[in-house]
Structure 1
């Protein structure tokens, strides 16, 4: 490195140090798959010289000097390999209760942490506070006490209670619903289901999670405004979307699509896995249902169907499987309870991906252009699976329809050269953006810090419900219509009476004439 290069590098470091922001990030949820996405964003903030304090359940093993953990680890067991391999309406209802109750618990753990309360007691100055938007609004109360602008962030599509707070239209006839099938083209029954589930999820969130969060905050601080009001004051929402996958939606200017920033470049495979992939003449099909769902809980009859399908296809298979059971010849099937997913999907010999269609896995598939067989289980997976099919990235296969014939047909469809080529085009469009998703996420975070007194909230978010749906206007028109009908009836009645009176008068005159005659 020559003298001038050293000077430029030193100036760059000094510039970043002087202009670095003091950022607080709050991730109270204990789901590892969520934080796996956020971690990339946090590391980029740190890399750019910002001083970042991270409240989460997943502290860094070797943090850099401008990365500061406030660890919640150990307070709640992290979510991993806990969901059975099944899907039903009762499970969906159970998810609503889980989200609300865990939101309550997350808040209690967050506020019980003395290091968190010390931030408020010290009146520590932050330029911007980044808050996860998921199952709890408790962190918004902390942000309010610290008097800093707030940026919301997600690792998934919108939750049902997010639409109104950001002024986003939520019409069940064409807006994909987080927990339901149908995508943007729901059937009549699915529209009914969406309306029922939307009411249910919002009710349990507001009644259990948000109300308890408000009460828990009140135990420590007596001046926290209603959390829903604070939610409507969030400057920006960094939404883990991109329209290439999830379709065109009506988002206000402060909802920024940043889907895809967590995917890093694939590293070369090593050891037995490398040999298994490289020696596959027809490529490999990768199977994984994420960090929450255990493949090994799949019913035995369905496992048999899957193995039968494997034997009918020339490709080799790699399967994330949690037990030591030998399922098939090791030259045909490679199993492990942990696999380098990004490195497998990024290998040119990976020709298809059978997945639960979690947003992280789906994003990684579209990043590398690997066609998917999307089989949703829980959470936002049904909506993601619909998006996979509608975007042309893959096909859907519901758990209830999983059998040998349907799975074989799904694989044959995505393995077709024309389908694979289309998936590559979808991936190409996904990458074709004026700014990378990570740069976009960081830019709008810094933007919120630069203009803390500006309001970016859509007007629709703060309009009263009756006004948003023009209920007062409709009521006025109905009232005018009723008044018009009433007046018309009165006039018609008066005219009829006048006519009757005139007729009676004419009859009376005729009678008198008759008597005289």
Structure 2
């Protein structure tokens, strides 16, 4: 009996090995919230028998995952902290400046990571082959990483932890109507007015000119230094992407049309509850009047707030009838009120699951909002960048929270918003309704993502999903050639009719002249 079992196990292992693939994952953004979203995917791929190599700023460090090799490029957090993007993060800069800073920072970080010793070893080792490349496509942070696809000549799956910029939709032939699907950088939500429509249209045009005529050619020049001058144009490589997985929340994000090779996933990072640290648990348990949890996420740090804004927040929190748990990134919070407890790091998902949490003051990142909805906690949003303003506006629209803009934040405004959200049960009821929608999914986000990744591997790129619109030029897609032809026909007809009328008039005038004579 034992030999039979051994043979069955051996055959199973052989069959499993035959279906395994070599996968290269590239997740360059130095942001824990983004990396936290993707970690379950490369973990699950490893557990399913795939040989996975990951370039990441936040390795799992799990030695039990024997099929997983992680290359730590966390040193680029220093690039982020010293960048002009962070310096301007808390200033009311124009959307154009923010987009420019994101592109420039992304290129700098990508290039610094490529020069890492272990990555150079992989690139210079000609024996290395991959069956699929998985690339994080956060906004325009990752153009340079598509050079890996040119080197290894294998299918590429893009994956985003939030929305993506227009050009990724263009590469897959996905429609980007400026009114139906305005860009997340504009911060619009719900039905937009006429001037917002005009702004969205002009931004649509500006962004494409800026990306295709400046950003992409610049990234292509840098890519050729590292991947060879014989590589195809970087835009053509990106256009050949097989699949794009977009972390899109069915509650927060508006419905939009997608081509078959753009797949929406959500709640990738939601995990099982773990026991809280004893000091945090004791603090929450003893706060029978309730607790307000305050965290601005991993990118927007509370310590970077201006002194004026910080003082207004401290005054508002100090006057609340609740205790406050604040993720504050240094050892000391100046003028800390007695009802406020600070910690440099906090297990957010587990804290939000505590029954004494009354409200969550957040910057409005998608992952934080998903965690709040999962735990049925109403929100007060102080948005800063990218999708945060539109996320919070949507929260307000759905009656799940309130928004306080950091540019106009005062003690009175913040205090009023927190008291209203924490004290009115209608906010929690609306969050519970949203949770029921989010929970009603055919499978978990991680399982859906992994299924589609393996689908691309099974079908060697799944070219049958590709829309023909992806291979059309701008003139073809918008039928500008047809419009010009119709305009030419109309002009020709107008010209012909004008000539006929002119000739008829001349003929009539001539006849009248003859009669008078």
TM-score surpassing 0.5? Answer: yes
The answer to whether the Cα contact below 8 Å between 1:282 and 1:314 also exists between their aligned partners in 2 is: yes
* Cα drift, residue 328 of structure 1: 4.4
The answer to whether the Cα contact below 8 Å between 2:381 and 2:404 also exists between their aligned partners in 1 is: yes
When the two chains are superposed, the root-mean-square deviation of aligned CA atoms in Å is: 2.9
- Report what 1:95 is aligned to: 98
Matched, 1:451 2:459: yes
- Report what 1:514 is aligned to: none
Residues 392-424 of structure 1: CA distance to partner in whole angstroms, max 9, x if unpaired?
433332222322333234224433112211111
Q: What's the secondary structure of 2:46's corresponding residue?
A: helix
The answer to whether the Cα contact below 8 Å between 2:39 and 2:60 also exists between their aligned partners in 1 is: no
CA distance in 1, matches of 2:366, 2:407: 21
* Cα drift, residue 71 of structure 1: 3.5
Matched, 1:341 2:342: no
The answer to whether the Cα contact below 8 Å between 1:32 and 1:80 also exists between their aligned partners in 2 is: no
The answer to whether the Cα contact below 8 Å between 2:28 and 2:55 also exists between their aligned partners in 1 is: yes
The answer to whether the Cα contact below 8 Å between 2:187 and 2:387 also exists between their aligned partners in 1 is: no
Aligned match for 1:129, one of 133, 137, 145: 133
CA distance in 2, matches of 1:215, 1:126: 25
CA distance in 1, matches of 2:114, 2:407: 42
- Report what 1:434 is aligned to: 442
CA distance in 2, matches of 1:73, 1:399: 29
Matched, 1:497 2:503: no
Task: Give the structure, 1 or 2, with the largest relative contact order (CA under 8 Å, sep 6 or more).
Answer: 1
* Cα drift, residue 87 of structure 1: 4.2
Q: Structure 2 regions of 5+ residues with no counterpart?
A: none
TM-score by length of 1: 0.88
Residues 290-335 of structure 1: CA distance to partner in whole angstroms, max 9, x if unpaired?
12223234344444443443355433211112341354454x2221
Aligned match for 1:141, one of 147, 154, 160: 147
Aligned match for 1:464, one of 451, 466, 473: 473
* Cα drift, residue 4 of structure 1: 11
Q: Structure 1 regions of 5+ residues with no counterpart?
A: 509-517
CA distance in 2, matches of 1:322, 1:58: 18
CA distance in 1, matches of 2:505, 2:230: 66
CA distance in 2, matches of 1:319, 1:172: 38
Aligned match for 2:484, one of 472, 475, 493: 475
- Listed as ranges, the matches of 1:134-173 within 5 Å are 134=138, 135-173=141-179
Q: What's the secondary structure of 2:166's corresponding residue?
A: coil
- How many residues of Structure 1 are paired with residues of Structure 2 in the alignment? 506
- Report what 2:187 is aligned to: 181
* Cα drift, residue 447 of structure 1: 0.3
Matched, 1:56 2:56: yes
* Cα drift, residue 237 of structure 1: 0.7
- The structure whose Rg is larger is 1
Aligned match for 1:381, one of 388, 392, 401: 388
Matched, 1:371 2:371: no
Residues 252-302 of structure 1: CA distance to partner in whole angstroms, max 9, x if unpaired?
111111121111122232322112211222321111111222323434444
Residues 205-242 of structure 1: CA distance to partner in whole angstroms, max 9, x if unpaired?
44555323322332342321111111121111111112
- Report what 1:40 is aligned to: 40
CA distance in 1, matches of 2:7, 2:347: 40
The answer to whether the Cα contact below 8 Å between 2:312 and 2:411 also exists between their aligned partners in 1 is: yes
